[in-house]
Amino acid sequence: MELPEKKYLPNIKQVIGVISGKGGVGKSTIAVLLAQALANDGKNVGILDADITGPSIPRLLGIETMKAESDGNRLFPILNEDGIAILSINLFNEAEDSPVIWRGPLLGKAIEQFWGDAEWGSLDYLIIDFPPGTSDISLTAFQTIPLSGVVVVTTPQEYVSMIVRKSINMAGLLNTPVLGVVENMKSLVCPRCGEIISLFDDHGDSADKRLGVPVLASLPWHKEVVTAKSIHWNALPETIRKDALRMAKETELALASVQKANKA
C-alpha cells in the first residue's frame, strides 16, 4: 500500500497507539493508566486524544473544564497534575457536550494538527487514544502519526471475533508493529472472599493463542474504575497501580524488542 509521508517529530521518542476492534472495551482507560504509570515512573509523557467525535480523555483525567490554547498557528497542550501533556478536541470546544459534526477530511485535519502543530515539548512517550475500530479517522491517525507500535485492548469475548483481528491486521497493513494485547475486564476479585471470578466466556482460549500476539497485561474489572468520576494516580488502589506499572514495563520491553529486531 502506498503511504503518504509522515512528519517525524524528533522531540518525541516513542509513540504508542492504543487501539481496539470494538468500542467500549477500555481503550481510553488503558491509555490513561499507561500514561500515568509511565509518568509516575519518571518519564515525560503526553496523551493525544485521537477520538475526535467521542473524546473521553479530558473527563477521564478530570480536566474537562480546562481549555487548551492556540495562537492561531500552534496548539498548546494542557499539563495535568502528573505533568502529562494532553490534547483533545474537547479542550477546544466551548461546551463539553458540543457535538463534533465534521466530515472526514476535517476530522483528519484535527489529527494532523494535534500531531504536527502542537507544542508537545520533549516527550519519552506520546500515547494516542484511538477511536474504536478501523474507521476513516483511525486510518488517518495511522497514516499521519509515525507510531512506534500499538497496544490492542480486548475483552475476552473478543478473542474469537474477527473484529479484533481486523484491527491487528490494519496495523500490519500500515506497517505498524503490534506490541501486544491488554486483556481488560477479564475477571473480578470478590471483595468478600477473594475468589477470582471470570466475567466472560473466553471459549477456553487465551489472547496470545487466538491472536498470535503476546499478552502485555491482564487488568481485572475494578469497581473503583467505574465509580470514580476521573482517574487520579494517587487515589487509585495499590493493586491497580501495580497492574498499570507492570503493563507499562511490559509495553516498554515489547517496544525495545521490536526496535532491536528492526535494527538487526
Residue ranges that bind ligand ATP, judged by CB under 6 A: 20, 23-29, 51, 54, 56, 132, 184-185, 219, 221-222, 225-226
Residue nearer to Mg ion on the CB measure, 27 or 222? 27
- Write the CB contacts of 238 (distance below 8 Å, at least 6 apart in sequence): none
**Rounded to whole angstroms, how far apart are CA atoms 121 and 92?**
19
- Write the CB contacts of 5 (distance below 8 Å, at least 6 apart in sequence): none
Residue nearer to ligand ATP on the CB measure, 6 or 246? 246
Shortest Å distance, C-beta 131 to ligand ATP: 6
In this structure, which amino acid lies at residue 50?
A
Residue 134 binding: pick among Mg ion, ligand ATP, none (C-beta 5-8 Å cut-off by kind): none
Shortest Å distance, C-beta 48 to Mg ion: 13
Shortest Å distance, C-beta 27 to Mg ion: 5
Residue nearer to ligand ATP on the CB measure, 23 or 116? 23
**What DSSP string describes 45-58?**
EEEEE--SSS--HH
Site string for Mg ion, 1-40 (x = CB under 5 A): --------------------------xx------------
Residue 29 binding: pick among ligand ATP, Mg ion, none (C-beta 5-8 Å cut-off by kind): ligand ATP
What are residue 189's DSSP bridge partners? 196
Residue nearer to Mg ion on the CB measure, 44 or 61? 61
Residue nearer to ligand ATP on the CB measure, 27 or 43? 27
Shortest Å distance, C-beta 27 to ligand ATP: 4
**Residue whose grid cell is 480523555:** 57
CA angle 116, 118, 124 (to 5 degrees): 90
Q: Supply the DSSP symbol for 88.
A: -
Side-chain-side CA neighbours of residue 141 (13 Å): 31
Residue nearer to ligand ATP on the CB measure, 34 or 179? 34
Shortest Å distance, C-beta 4 to ligand ATP: 25
Residue 225 binding: pick among ligand ATP, Mg ion, none (C-beta 5-8 Å cut-off by kind): ligand ATP
What are residue 193's DSSP bridge partners? none
Shortest Å distance, C-beta 219 to ligand ATP: 5
Q: What number of residues does the chain have?
A: 264
Residue nearer to ligand ATP on the CB measure, 24 or 42? 24
Shortest Å distance, C-beta 215 to ligand ATP: 15
Q: Supply the DSSP symbol for 7.
A: P
What are residue 152's DSSP bridge partners? 19, 181
**Rounded to whole angstroms, how far apart are CA atoms 217 and 54?**
25
> Three-state SS for 8?
coil
Judged by the rule CB under 5 A, the positions of this chain that interact with Mg ion are: 27-28, 56
